[in-house]
Amino acid sequence: MTTILIVDDDAPLRRAMAVTVEDLGHTAAQAGDASACLDWLADHRADAVLLDLRMPGMDGMTLLKRIGALPSPPPVAVITAVPTGENTIEAMRLGAVDHLAKPVGRDALAALLTRMLPSTAPAPSAPTDTTKEGDLIGSSAAMREVQKSIGLLADSDATVLLLGETGTGKEVVARAIHRHGSRAAAPFIPVNCAAIPTELLESLLFGHVRGAFTGAIADRAGSFREAQRGTLFLDEIGDMDLAMQAKLLRVLQERVVTPVGGKPVPIDVRVVAATHRDLGQAVRAGTFREDLYYRIGVVPVALPPLRDRLADIIPLAEHYLALSGTGRRLGADAAARLLGHTWPGNVRELVNAMKRAATLARRPVLGAADLDFLATGAPASDPGTDPDWLAGTLPDAVARLETELIRRALSAAQGNRAKAAEQLGIRRQLLYDKLDRYGLS
């Protein structure tokens, strides 16, 4: 029988999780802090560890490192009440199998243990830092998957292809992969392949020697050599000319660049590419080389559009308002206006909207009128309520959304409140409180 070690300073929660683990057919062991965990692991063998992050004394992230340094470390999953982009990426970088938010229901825990037990810890990945302009902000389910991917990819040298609509933050993700990986101390060199004329792109990427062509008055290293031991970000690679694609393919295959008019030079560069185009369709249309497509698409990562990240819109808006330095903040009606916009320009449009509102507003608290420049459109998603579900104050809009979500969950669970609470990702008592508050009892 497999043994699952549960490490959490919250004794009631730890015991409840132990009961669930044993109901699932495993043996549960418990530790209330990092010291107790390490002492237990010194004398016993765990098949898997479920680890909290915030504990007295040594925190969970440090403990995760210590467990990973053991001779035969068990697989570890982080389960925390305070999931952030930073601790998600760091946990995945340090070898966590997964990073989940509390509470974790029975079915989710069973699925997690199924993933953990057949295998050992996964490939390591990347650290984090999310407080400045250009940082990765978001706690929605879609963005947490992207953050996990960053954690798993950062320490690898595999070529990554970032896919997504214009404005979804592909360069931000590329920088995060670089910053949290083993090449962080070396340069990150971005190149926008769509913004550079074809006749100049070869020289920009591969470099040239003095006198190679008219105007070449000095040697130029080129972006590949400038990114030596670091990361080269090829943005909008789908717009690259076919002839240039062939030259790029050769460089990626041989890891050697030949400056215009010069001799071959070996390179050690990690390549991250990005495009908003459908490269599969471009291959079929003959505008993108199939061999290059497979070469750059070793690990594709799809970035979600902002309309699929409803939970991130207000945190992102508040983040960029704070960066404006004006002291402006969102009012309830302004927040409702943001939630009702479809964001065709994605995060880039939101950033510009916050800069514009912060600059033009005359009050410290932004109202809906300060965002009248946003084009009106259908809500980002249709929760099945009245078409005017975002009308009124933010608390009113949240109440309408919560009511509809609870109704759907209860319907799907055939009235079983425990299952409905698990589907909603909340505690049963919280569900009961909301049922009373919204008159759904």
Q: Where in the chain are the domains?
A: 3-116, 157-302, 306-371, 394-437
Task: Check for a shared fold between 3-116 and 306-371.
Answer: no
Report the C-alpha gap between 47 and 56 in whole angstroms: 25
CATH class of 394-437: mainly alpha
User: What pLDDT score was predicted for residue 360?
Assistant: 85
| 3-class SS of residue 75 | coil
**For residue 252, pLDDT beyond 60:** yes
Which pLDDT score, from 0 to 100, does residue 441 have? 59
CA distance readout (Å), 398 to 206, 332, 384: 53, 11, 14
Rounded mean pLDDT, 189-199: 90
Task: Enter the tokens of residue 312.
Answer: 């991130």
**Whole-number Å distance between alpha carbons of 224 and 287:** 24
The predicted structure's pLDDT at residue 65: 93
Mean predicted confidence (pLDDT) in 103-128: 65
Dist. CA 315–CA 12, nearest whole Å: 32
What single letter denotes the amino acid at residue 252?
A: L
Integer Cα distance of 377 and 364 in angstroms: 27
Q: 375: Cβ–Cβ under 8 A, 6 or more apart, which residues?
A: 341
| Most confident by average pLDDT, 133-142, 156-165, 326-335 | 156-165
Please name the fold of domain 157-302.
Rossmann fold (3.40.50)
Confidence of residue 131 (pLDDT cuts 50, 70, 90): very low
pLDDT of residue 234: 96
Has residue 256 got a pLDDT over 80? Answer: yes
Strands 160-163 and 98-101: unpaired
**pLDDT recorded at residue 396:** 64
Tell which phi-psi region holds residue 425, choosing left (phi > 0), alpha (psi between -120 and 50) or beta: left
Pick the closest to residue 182 from 148, 153, 149 (CA basis). Answer: 153
Domain 3-116, what fold?
Answer: Rossmann fold (3.40.50)
User: What sign for the dihedral angle of Cα 262, 264, 269, 270?
Assistant: positive
User: Which of 70-79, 120-129, 156-165 is predicted with the least confidence, judged by mean pLDDT?
Assistant: 120-129
According to the per-residue pLDDT averaged within each range, which of 227-231, 305-309, 396-400 is highest? 227-231
Q: Which two tokens stand for residue 407?
A: 């109704």
Task: Place 438 in a pLDDT band, splitting at 50, 70 and 90.
Answer: low
The average pLDDT across 143-150 equals 92
Give the pLDDT band of residue 125 (cuts 50, 70, 90): very low
What fold, for 306-371?
Helicase, Ruva Protein; domain 3 (1.10.8)
Residue 162 scores a pLDDT above 90: yes
Q: Is the pLDDT of residue 122 over 80?
A: no
357-383 confidence digits (pLDDT tens): 998 887 788 888 889 888 644 344 444
User: Residue 394: its pLDDT value, please?
Assistant: 65
